[in-house]
A and B are shown apart, each in its own frame.
Chain A
């Protein structure tokens, strides 16, 4: 265990209808770094991510944030922990009954005593940070997929969180927009100096944004290292995954 871990997972097990998705995951997320969790579709990456913030509770094992076991917390204290996080959901998960501005400013209105002018100013600033201008009064239904993702990021960083979790941030986007989102994740990490966890199966995205890459396979972390170490790995599954082979020997492929 690293002394500077922001999130620590120890022996996390999770099953759905007798299907064990996570089988004893041990993982540390170091403070101030970007960790990318790689894995095949449906391998439990998003399930693991939701354990970091108590959206899902492990059947066995523990998750600690900043040394505090979140499994032991009541709702009020869990909310206190979640205030330190921002989360970008796979489908953006914008509140479709609200405007973009209301989405981004909701947490500020709920949790801060700031004036309406201050809140709007912060909202506009966060939207500019993700490259959006003049969309404050639009409804999510009027936005493209890439714009929705960016509004989702602006909402996630509205409260200046210590850690941002990204669930498949580039899935469903064209390559140019996917790269724009990758640049944005890097920019936010550099400018805001936050801890980030990115869940993806997009290997190019992983190489671009990661300080560390963890590979989730068969319900466990089978590898953790830098992007360079991933490239050099001689693990059969990792080589297949990074090079996109369905089965068999990489050399033969």
Chain B
């Protein structure tokens, strides 16, 4: 019994430490924002790494997600809903949820792991201490460019993903369901609201921040050699995926139940 309380207590203290550490890191990032012009070159490099580097992954994921969305929708429509609404359902589900969330999850896995492993290795090989010794703030030099790049590139990747997923759905609709492209596009335009696109993209800005923050925080707190780098990488991926899903619910509530709510 005592052991159980001890374990719960240690886990709770660890959680508090992580929350506190993340908030402190966020504060340091905010304070280093004024130095952003000095880090433009590094930021552009990170945008290439996070954005361009993720394109193959997003391409495959989005095409197949759109395709399966069309197949699933058609299966549920049979005999009940006219197929001219196929484009509407695929478009809505991709723009509101599938595009932003799945892009964030796959890019989050790739990017947060890569950031945590890189910064974690720098921590255990004393490269971050070496940077401190050169009087260079590691938050400004390492974290800020990754954070800004992720905040910018996630919405860009999501636009790309939305387009590809809808294309994937449209191809499957024509080839295997027998819905013409014209009908699909007509359905797509039905109930199309710009607010849906904006809210989907707003969510991805938050997801981008989560991905970079979790990668950097876990990378910075790495200790214990190769084992520690592995542990940090795992924590970065798990925490960013969980936080994306949890944040998604709260953002969806704020955006669709409050800000863009069309009900009376």
Contacts and interface: CB of A to CB of B under 8 A. Distances in A.
Nearest to A97: B118
A107 B135 CA distance: 8
Given A90-B126, A96-B127, A85 B133 contact: yes
B125 interface: yes
B136 A106 contact: yes
Contact of A91 (B126, B134, B135): B126
Interface of B: 122, 125-127, 129-137
Contacts of B131: 95
B133 A75 contact: no
Contacts of B125: 91, 93, 96
Nearest to B129: A55
Interface of A: 50, 53, 55, 75, 79-80, 82-83, 85-87, 89-91, 93-96, 106-107, 110-111, 155-156, 159
A106 B129 contact: no
A110 B134 contact: yes
Given A91-B126, A93-B125, A95-B130, A75 B136 contact: no
B133 A106 contact: no
B53 to A, nearest CB: 15
A187 to B, nearest CB: 22
B126 A93 contact: yes
Given A82-B133, A95-B122, 8 more contacts: A53-B133, A55-B129, A80-B135, A83-B135, A93-B129, A94-B130, A96-B127, A110-B135
B126 A89 contact: yes
Contacts of A90: 126
B127 A106 contact: no
B28 to A, nearest CB: 9
A87 B133 contact: yes
Contacts of B135: 79-80, 82-83, 107, 110-111
A90 B129 CA distance: 12
A159 B134 CA distance: 9
B133 A55 contact: yes
With a 10 A CB-CB cut-off, give which of A83, A87, A90, A156 has the most chain B CB atoms: A87
A95 B129 contact: no
Contact of A107 (B126, B127, B129, B136): B136
Contact of A95 (B127, B132, B137): B127
Contacts of A110: 134-136
A159 B122 CA distance: 22
> Which 5 A-B pairs rank lowest in CB-CB distance, beginning with the nearest?
A79-B135, A93-B126, A93-B130, A107-B134, A87-B133
A44 B131 CA distance: 22
B143 to A, nearest CB: 14
Contacts of B134: 82, 106-107, 110, 155, 159
Contacts of A85: 133
A91 B137 CA distance: 21
Nearest to A167: B126
Contacts of A159: 134
Given A55-B132, A82-B132, A75 B127 contact: no
Contact of B133 (A86, A91, A94): A86
With a 10 A CB-CB cut-off, give which of B129, B130, B137 has the most chain A CB atoms: B130
A106 B136 CA distance: 9
Nearest to B134: A107
B115 to A, nearest CB: 13
A33 to B, nearest CB: 21
Nearest to A84: B135
Contacts of B137: 75, 79
11 contacts: A75-B137, A82-B134, A82-B135, A87-B130, A87-B133, A91-B125, A93-B129, A107-B136, A111-B135, A156-B133, A159-B134
Contacts of B130: 87, 89, 93-95, 155
Nearest to B133: A87
A53 B125 CA distance: 18
A50 B132 CA distance: 11
B44 to A, nearest CB: 15
A249 to B, nearest CB: 38
A72 B132 CA distance: 17
Contacts of B136: 106-107, 110
With a 10 A CB-CB cut-off, give which of B127, B134, B135, B137 has the most chain A CB atoms: B134
Contacts of A96: 125, 127
B137 to A, nearest CB: 7
